[in-house]
Protein backbone atom coordinates (compact mmCIF):
# COMPACT_ATOMS: atom_id res chain seq x y z
CA UNK A 1 0.00 0.00 0.00
CA UNK A 2 2.98 2.34 -0.45
CA UNK A 3 2.05 5.42 -2.48
CA UNK A 4 3.91 6.13 -5.69
CA UNK A 5 6.25 9.14 -5.34
CA UNK A 6 6.28 11.47 -8.35
CA UNK A 7 8.49 14.38 -9.35
CA UNK A 8 6.86 17.75 -9.98
CA UNK A 9 6.29 17.47 -13.72
CA UNK A 10 4.98 13.91 -13.52
CA UNK A 11 2.72 14.93 -10.63
CA UNK A 12 1.32 17.90 -12.58
CA UNK A 13 0.74 15.71 -15.65
CA UNK A 14 -1.15 13.19 -13.51
CA UNK A 15 -3.45 16.00 -12.27
CA UNK A 16 -5.18 16.02 -15.65
CA UNK A 17 -6.97 12.82 -14.72
CA UNK A 18 -6.84 12.62 -10.92
CA UNK A 19 -7.87 15.03 -8.13
CA UNK A 20 -5.01 16.54 -6.16
CA UNK A 21 -5.46 16.85 -2.40
CA UNK A 22 -3.42 19.44 -0.53
CA UNK A 23 -3.41 18.13 3.04
CA UNK A 24 -1.81 21.25 4.53
CA UNK A 25 -3.86 23.61 6.68
CA UNK A 26 -6.45 26.00 5.19
CA UNK A 27 -4.13 28.96 5.85
CA UNK A 28 -1.25 27.29 4.03
CA UNK A 29 -3.49 26.38 1.09
CA UNK A 30 -4.93 29.88 0.87
CA UNK A 31 -1.51 31.52 0.90
CA UNK A 32 -0.11 29.46 -1.95
CA UNK A 33 -1.28 26.30 -3.71
CA UNK A 34 -0.83 24.20 -6.78
CA UNK A 35 -3.47 25.46 -9.24
CA UNK A 36 -6.32 22.98 -9.39
CA UNK A 37 -5.57 21.38 -6.03
CA UNK A 38 -8.27 20.86 -3.39
CA UNK A 39 -7.67 21.46 0.29
CA UNK A 40 -8.21 18.30 2.38
CA UNK A 41 -6.46 19.35 5.58
CA UNK A 42 -5.12 16.77 7.97
CA UNK A 43 -5.07 19.40 10.75
CA UNK A 44 -6.85 22.68 11.32
CA UNK A 45 -4.69 25.80 11.53
CA UNK A 46 -4.83 25.68 15.32
CA UNK A 47 -4.09 21.96 15.55
CA UNK A 48 -1.00 22.27 13.37
CA UNK A 49 0.28 25.11 15.56
CA UNK A 50 -0.31 23.00 18.67
CA UNK A 51 1.51 19.98 17.19
CA UNK A 52 4.45 22.19 16.20
CA UNK A 53 4.67 23.67 19.67
CA UNK A 54 4.47 20.19 21.21
CA UNK A 55 7.28 18.98 18.95
CA UNK A 56 9.57 21.81 20.07
CA UNK A 57 8.77 21.45 23.76
CA UNK A 58 8.36 17.68 24.18
CA UNK A 59 9.88 15.98 21.15
CA UNK A 60 8.61 14.06 18.12
CA UNK A 61 6.94 11.09 19.84
CA UNK A 62 4.71 13.25 22.01
CA UNK A 63 3.89 15.42 19.00
CA UNK A 64 2.93 12.36 16.95
CA UNK A 65 0.61 11.17 19.71
CA UNK A 66 -1.06 14.57 19.82
CA UNK A 67 -1.42 14.49 16.03
CA UNK A 68 -3.05 11.06 16.21
CA UNK A 69 -5.46 12.37 18.79
CA UNK A 70 -6.51 15.10 16.38
CA UNK A 71 -6.61 12.89 13.29
CA UNK A 72 -8.47 9.88 14.70
CA UNK A 73 -11.96 11.45 14.64
CA UNK A 74 -11.31 12.85 11.14
CA UNK A 75 -10.27 9.64 9.39
CA UNK A 76 -13.74 8.79 8.13
CA UNK A 77 -14.25 12.37 6.93
CA UNK A 78 -10.97 12.27 4.97
CA UNK A 79 -11.98 9.05 3.23
CA UNK A 80 -15.50 10.22 2.42
CA UNK A 81 -14.29 13.58 1.14
CA UNK A 82 -11.85 11.78 -1.15
CA UNK A 83 -14.61 9.47 -2.38
CA UNK A 84 -16.72 12.43 -3.46
CA UNK A 85 -13.87 13.96 -5.44
CA UNK A 86 -12.37 10.76 -6.83
CA UNK A 87 -15.06 8.30 -7.91
CA UNK A 88 -12.44 6.63 -10.12
CA UNK A 89 -10.35 5.70 -7.11
CA UNK A 90 -7.13 7.50 -8.13
CA UNK A 91 -5.84 10.42 -6.06
CA UNK A 92 -2.80 12.63 -5.69
CA UNK A 93 -1.66 13.90 -2.29
CA UNK A 94 0.87 16.50 -1.20
CA UNK A 95 1.87 18.45 1.89
CA UNK A 96 4.68 20.96 2.50
CA UNK A 97 7.79 18.77 2.22
CA UNK A 98 6.29 15.43 1.20
CA UNK A 99 6.68 14.11 4.73
CA UNK A 100 4.42 12.98 7.54
CA UNK A 101 1.17 14.66 6.58
CA UNK A 102 1.04 13.44 2.99
CA UNK A 103 2.41 10.08 4.12
CA UNK A 104 -0.35 9.68 6.70
CA UNK A 105 -3.20 10.65 4.35
CA UNK A 106 -1.87 8.63 1.41
CA UNK A 107 -1.52 5.58 3.72
CA UNK A 108 -5.11 6.00 4.94
CA UNK A 109 -6.51 6.39 1.42
CA UNK A 110 -4.43 3.49 0.11
CA UNK A 111 -5.63 1.32 3.00
CA UNK A 112 -9.21 2.14 2.04
CA UNK A 113 -8.54 1.15 -1.55
CA UNK A 114 -7.49 4.28 -3.43
CA UNK A 115 -4.61 4.26 -5.88
CA UNK A 116 -2.47 7.07 -4.48
CA UNK A 117 0.57 9.04 -5.54
CA UNK A 118 2.43 11.71 -3.56
CA UNK A 119 4.51 14.68 -4.64
CA UNK A 120 8.17 14.04 -3.89
CA UNK A 121 9.43 17.01 -1.91
CA UNK A 122 5.90 18.38 -1.48
CA UNK A 123 4.74 21.90 -2.22
CA UNK A 124 8.24 23.14 -1.45
CA UNK A 125 9.54 21.24 -4.49
CA UNK A 126 6.70 22.67 -6.59
CA UNK A 127 7.73 26.20 -5.57
CA UNK A 128 11.32 25.52 -6.67
CA UNK A 129 9.92 24.35 -10.01
CA UNK A 130 7.82 27.54 -10.24
CA UNK A 131 10.80 29.85 -9.70
CA UNK A 132 12.85 27.91 -12.25
CA UNK A 133 10.22 28.65 -14.93
CA UNK A 134 10.96 32.36 -14.68
CA UNK A 135 14.68 31.77 -15.28
CA UNK A 136 14.17 29.94 -18.59
CA UNK A 137 15.44 31.56 -21.76
CA UNK A 138 12.57 32.12 -24.17
CA UNK A 139 11.62 34.35 -27.08
CA UNK A 140 9.30 37.07 -25.82
CA UNK A 141 7.41 39.70 -27.78
CA UNK A 142 5.56 42.58 -26.15
CA UNK A 143 2.26 44.08 -27.27
CA UNK A 144 2.03 47.71 -26.19
CA UNK A 145 -0.08 50.75 -26.86
CA UNK A 146 -1.56 53.82 -25.26
CA UNK A 147 -4.21 53.45 -22.56
CA UNK A 148 -7.48 52.26 -24.09
CA UNK A 149 -5.88 50.65 -27.13
CA UNK A 150 -7.59 47.35 -26.36
CA UNK A 151 -4.37 45.40 -25.94
CA UNK A 152 -5.85 42.59 -23.84
CA UNK A 153 -8.75 41.83 -26.24
CA UNK A 154 -6.31 41.89 -29.15
CA UNK A 155 -3.99 39.52 -27.29
CA UNK A 156 -6.84 37.00 -27.12
CA UNK A 157 -7.70 37.50 -30.79
CA UNK A 158 -4.06 36.77 -31.54
CA UNK A 159 -4.34 33.56 -29.51
CA UNK A 160 -7.37 32.55 -31.58
CA UNK A 161 -5.13 32.90 -34.67
CA UNK A 162 -2.53 30.59 -33.17
CA UNK A 163 -0.21 32.96 -31.27
CA UNK A 164 1.04 31.82 -27.88
CA UNK A 165 0.08 34.31 -25.17
CA UNK A 166 -0.05 34.68 -21.41
CA UNK A 167 -2.61 37.15 -20.11
CA UNK A 168 -0.83 38.69 -17.12
CA UNK A 169 -3.79 40.88 -16.23
CA UNK A 170 -6.13 37.90 -16.36
CA UNK A 171 -3.91 35.91 -14.01
CA UNK A 172 -3.55 38.90 -11.66
CA UNK A 173 -7.27 39.72 -11.88
CA UNK A 174 -6.40 43.38 -12.39
CA UNK A 175 -6.25 45.59 -15.48
CA UNK A 176 -3.13 47.38 -14.33
CA UNK A 177 -4.50 50.93 -13.91
CA UNK A 178 -6.22 53.01 -11.25
CA UNK A 179 -9.46 51.46 -12.54
CA UNK A 180 -7.99 47.99 -12.85
CA UNK A 181 -9.87 46.28 -10.01
CA UNK A 182 -13.36 47.44 -10.97
CA UNK A 183 -15.74 44.54 -11.48
CA UNK A 184 -13.12 41.86 -10.85
CA UNK A 185 -12.74 39.28 -8.08
CA UNK A 186 -10.11 39.75 -5.39
CA UNK A 187 -6.56 39.38 -6.61
CA UNK A 188 -4.62 36.20 -5.85
CA UNK A 189 -1.80 36.25 -3.34
CA UNK A 190 1.62 36.93 -4.82
CA UNK A 191 2.53 33.27 -4.42
CA UNK A 192 -0.62 32.10 -6.17
CA UNK A 193 -0.04 34.60 -8.98
CA UNK A 194 3.46 33.20 -9.48
CA UNK A 195 2.11 29.64 -9.44
CA UNK A 196 -0.51 30.41 -12.09
CA UNK A 197 2.05 32.26 -14.19
CA UNK A 198 4.59 29.44 -14.02
CA UNK A 199 1.96 26.90 -15.08
CA UNK A 200 0.97 29.10 -18.02
CA UNK A 201 4.61 29.49 -19.08
CA UNK A 202 5.28 25.76 -18.74
CA UNK A 203 2.50 25.05 -21.24
CA UNK A 204 4.39 27.00 -23.95
CA UNK A 205 7.70 25.57 -25.27
CA UNK A 206 10.51 28.12 -24.72
CA UNK A 207 11.47 28.12 -28.41
CA UNK A 208 7.99 29.32 -29.50
CA UNK A 209 7.49 33.12 -29.44
CA UNK A 210 5.49 34.21 -26.42
CA UNK A 211 3.36 37.36 -26.53
CA UNK A 212 2.84 39.36 -23.34
CA UNK A 213 1.13 42.67 -22.78
CA UNK A 214 3.28 45.67 -21.91
CA UNK A 215 2.80 46.10 -18.17
CA UNK A 216 4.25 47.90 -15.23
CA UNK A 217 6.10 45.41 -13.07
CA UNK A 218 3.28 45.60 -10.53
CA UNK A 219 -0.17 44.58 -11.80
CA UNK A 220 -2.39 45.71 -8.97
CA UNK A 221 -0.67 44.16 -5.97
CA UNK A 222 0.81 41.25 -7.98
CA UNK A 223 4.46 41.67 -8.94
CA UNK A 224 5.92 40.15 -12.11
CA UNK A 225 8.95 38.04 -11.06
CA UNK A 226 12.20 39.88 -11.71
CA UNK A 227 13.77 37.32 -14.05
CA UNK A 228 10.74 37.39 -16.34
CA UNK A 229 10.39 41.16 -15.99
CA UNK A 230 14.00 41.68 -17.09
CA UNK A 231 13.36 39.60 -20.22
CA UNK A 232 10.20 41.57 -20.94
CA UNK A 233 12.14 44.84 -20.75
CA UNK A 234 14.63 43.57 -23.35
CA UNK A 235 12.02 42.13 -25.72
CA UNK A 236 10.87 43.76 -28.98
CA UNK A 237 7.81 45.97 -28.53
CA UNK A 238 4.94 46.28 -31.01
CA UNK A 239 2.77 49.33 -30.37
CA UNK A 240 -0.89 48.96 -31.31
CA UNK A 241 -1.96 52.05 -33.23
CA UNK A 242 -5.39 53.45 -32.32
CA UNK A 243 -6.93 56.90 -32.66
CA UNK A 244 -7.73 58.83 -29.50
CA UNK A 245 -11.45 58.55 -30.19
CA UNK A 246 -11.16 54.76 -30.63
CA UNK A 247 -9.37 54.58 -27.30
CA UNK A 248 -12.02 56.66 -25.54
CA UNK A 249 -14.70 54.35 -26.95
CA UNK A 250 -12.76 51.28 -25.75
CA UNK A 251 -12.42 52.70 -22.24
CA UNK A 252 -16.13 53.52 -22.13
CA UNK A 253 -16.97 49.97 -23.22
CA UNK A 254 -14.91 48.59 -20.34
CA UNK A 255 -15.77 51.01 -17.55
CA UNK A 256 -18.67 53.21 -18.63
CA UNK A 257 -21.36 51.07 -17.00
CA UNK A 258 -19.88 51.33 -13.49
CA UNK A 259 -21.59 53.65 -11.00
CA UNK A 260 -20.33 57.22 -11.03
CA UNK A 261 -19.10 57.06 -7.44
CA UNK A 262 -16.95 54.01 -8.12
CA UNK A 263 -15.41 55.74 -11.13
CA UNK A 264 -14.83 58.89 -9.09
CA UNK A 265 -13.17 56.90 -6.31
CA UNK A 266 -10.74 55.50 -8.89
CA UNK A 267 -10.15 58.96 -10.37
CA UNK A 268 -9.42 60.21 -6.86
CA UNK A 269 -6.45 57.83 -6.73
CA UNK A 270 -4.89 59.91 -9.53
CA UNK A 271 -5.21 63.26 -7.75
CA UNK A 272 -1.47 63.60 -7.11
CA UNK A 273 -0.70 63.08 -10.81
CA UNK A 274 -3.71 64.82 -12.34
CA UNK A 275 -3.83 67.68 -9.89
CA UNK A 276 -6.80 68.54 -7.73
CA UNK A 277 -8.45 70.83 -10.28
CA UNK A 278 -8.47 68.29 -13.12
CA UNK A 279 -9.43 65.49 -10.76
CA UNK A 280 -12.48 67.41 -9.57
CA UNK A 281 -13.33 68.43 -13.13
CA UNK A 282 -13.23 64.79 -14.30
CA UNK A 283 -15.40 63.64 -11.40
CA UNK A 284 -17.94 66.40 -12.08
CA UNK A 285 -18.18 65.26 -15.70
CA UNK A 286 -18.70 61.64 -14.66
CA UNK A 287 -21.45 62.60 -12.22
CA UNK A 288 -23.03 64.72 -14.94
CA UNK A 289 -23.18 61.82 -17.37
CA UNK A 290 -20.37 63.11 -19.58
CA UNK A 291 -17.95 60.26 -18.95
CA UNK A 292 -16.39 60.49 -22.43
CA UNK A 293 -15.19 64.02 -21.66
CA UNK A 294 -13.81 62.81 -18.32
CA UNK A 295 -11.87 60.06 -20.10
CA UNK A 296 -10.42 62.67 -22.46
CA UNK A 297 -9.06 64.55 -19.44
CA UNK A 298 -7.57 61.36 -17.99
CA UNK A 299 -5.79 60.57 -21.26
CA UNK A 300 -3.99 63.92 -20.94
CA UNK A 301 -2.21 62.27 -17.99
CA UNK A 302 -1.95 58.68 -19.23
CA UNK A 303 -0.62 59.42 -22.74
CA UNK A 304 2.49 61.42 -21.78
CA UNK A 305 3.21 58.97 -18.96
CA UNK A 306 3.17 55.99 -21.36
CA UNK A 307 5.18 57.85 -24.03
CA UNK A 308 7.80 58.61 -21.38
CA UNK A 309 7.88 55.01 -20.18
CA UNK A 310 8.75 53.54 -23.58
CA UNK A 311 11.62 56.02 -24.00
CA UNK A 312 13.09 55.29 -20.59
CA UNK A 313 15.58 52.44 -20.01
CA UNK A 314 15.47 49.59 -19.40
CA UNK A 315 12.23 49.53 -21.40
CA UNK A 316 12.55 48.39 -25.04
CA UNK A 317 13.36 51.44 -27.10
CA UNK A 318 15.34 53.00 -24.29
CA UNK A 319 19.12 53.04 -24.20
CA UNK A 320 19.22 49.28 -24.72
CA UNK A 321 18.21 49.96 -28.32
CA UNK A 322 15.59 47.23 -28.50
CA UNK A 323 13.22 47.33 -31.45
CA UNK A 324 9.98 49.31 -31.30
CA UNK A 325 7.50 49.13 -34.15
CA UNK A 326 3.94 50.33 -34.46
CA UNK A 327 1.15 48.59 -36.33
CA UNK A 328 -2.59 48.40 -36.76
CA UNK A 329 -4.60 45.46 -35.43
CA UNK A 330 -4.97 44.12 -38.96
CA UNK A 331 -1.21 44.19 -39.49
CA UNK A 332 -0.53 42.45 -36.18
CA UNK A 333 -3.09 39.71 -36.80
CA UNK A 334 -1.97 39.28 -40.39
CA UNK A 335 1.63 38.68 -39.33
CA UNK A 336 0.80 35.77 -37.03
CA UNK A 337 2.07 32.43 -38.20
CA UNK A 338 0.75 29.48 -36.19
CA UNK A 339 3.57 27.37 -34.68
CA UNK A 340 4.40 24.12 -36.47
Measure the CA–CA gap between 331 and 340, rounded to whole angstroms. 21
Residue in 23, 122, 160 with CA at minimum distance from that of residue 82: 23
Candidate list 20, 95, 222, 283, residue with the active-site label: 95
Both ends of the chain: CA-CA distance in Å?
Answer: 44
Task: Please enumerate in sequence order all residues whose Cβ is within 8 A of that of 187, keeping only pairs 6 or more positions apart, or say none.
Answer: 172, 173, 174, 181, 193, 220, 221, 222
Q: Is 222 a catalytic residue?
A: no
Residues belonging to the active site: 95
Amino acid sequence: MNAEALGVEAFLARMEGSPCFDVRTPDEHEGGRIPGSVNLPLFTNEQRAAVGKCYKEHGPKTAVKLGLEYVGPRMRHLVEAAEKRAPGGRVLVHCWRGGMRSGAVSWLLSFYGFETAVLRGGYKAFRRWVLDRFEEEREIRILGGMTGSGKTPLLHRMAARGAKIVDLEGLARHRGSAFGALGLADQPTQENFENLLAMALAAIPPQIPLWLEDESRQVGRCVIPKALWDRMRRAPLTLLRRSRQERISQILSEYGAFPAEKLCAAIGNLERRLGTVRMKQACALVRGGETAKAVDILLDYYDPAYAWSIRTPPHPGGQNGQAITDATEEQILGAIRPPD
